[in-house]
Structure 1
Amino acid sequence: MASKFDAEKAENLGDIEMQFAVKAVTQAETYWGLLEKIPGSKLKLTKFDDDIFEQLLIDFPEFKDPSNVVEVQEEEMKSKEGKEKWRAFCEKFNEIEDYNFGTLLRTKCTDEYTQHGTIFVVRIQFYAFEIARNRYGLNDWVSKK
């Protein structure tokens, strides 16, 4: 009989972590490449974009103001309260493939991806912020450079 997996006692395997990091960087490079070619306001990231955006505004009404998605407030997002709110939001989209896989999010939509200007989030959080930024036209500057 197989033993139950205990995440608290699991080892961090360097090779696996490296594969996740490579995948996250590849995803960021792909997304940036799209933004360079197509204004964000014309991009559709998933077939669930409308649902994600609508739910974001319900669960986080502060994001109805475009200025509140310009910069990610990492401390708020990763606080105890923030984690609980985001966890509830994320679980509403568990039908989206890889919704909870780690990916990179720019902390400011006014900047490119940089070592100090990105944070690690789950994919549905990336979608939520980037769909909002795109809907508000905040990423359109990238294609105009």
Structure 2
Amino acid sequence: MATQFDADNADNLGEIEMQFAVKAVQQAETYWSLLEKIPGSKLKLTKFDDDIFTCLLEAFPEFKEPANVAQISEEDMKSAAGKTKWREFCEQFKDIEDYNFGTLLRLKASEEYTQEGTIFAVRIQFYAIEIARNRYGLNDWACKK
């Protein structure tokens, strides 16, 4: 007889966490490699880019201002209010494969991935922020350096 999985009481298995971390780093390296070769303003990250961008601006009108997406506040994203707002945003995209898979997000569009300047986020947050950055041309510098 199958038992119900209880995520709240499940053990954290180091091996599984390490596999997730490796996949997140690989995704970040792949994305950065693309930015070094193609201006971000010419990149399309998903077939849902238009919908993600529109919903981002509806949920977070502050991101209509490029400066507010150029530098992200981890505190704002991970505060109780921020988590609630982002959770509501993310749930709109549960049909996108791996929308809630862990990934790395740069805090500043003007910097590469660094240990101090990178946070852990879910994939749809990464898509939303990076699609906005690309549309505003904030990542184009990586290709020109």
**Pairing of 1:1-145 with structure 2 (within 5 A):** 1-145=1-145
Q: Which amino acid aligns with 1:84?
A: T
Normalised by the size of structure 1, how large is the TM-score?
0.98
After superposing on structure 2, the runs of 4+ consecutive aligned residues of structure 1 that deviate more than 2 Å are none
Q: Which amino acid aligns with 1:89?
A: F
Q: Which amino acid aligns with 1:111?
A: E
Q: Which amino acid aligns with 2:117?
A: G
Percent identity over paired residues: 76
Q: CA deviation at 1:97?
A: 0.5
Q: Distance in 1 between matches of 2:121 and 2:91?
A: 14
Unaligned runs of 5+ in 1: none
Q: Distance in 1 between matches of 2:73 and 2:27?
A: 22
Q: CA deviation at 1:16?
A: 0.4
* CA deviation vs aligned residue, 1:25-60 (integer Å, no higher than 9, x gap): 000000000000000000000000000000000000
Q: CA deviation at 1:123?
A: 0.0
Q: Distance in 1 between matches of 2:3 and 2:9?
A: 13
Greater mean alpha carbon deviation, residues 108-117 or residues 132-141: 108-117
Greater mean alpha carbon deviation, residues 74-83 or residues 46-55: 74-83
Q: CA deviation at 1:69?
A: 0.4
Normalised by the size of structure 2, how large is the TM-score?
0.98
Q: CA deviation at 1:7?
A: 1.4
Q: Which amino acid aligns with 1:91?
A: E
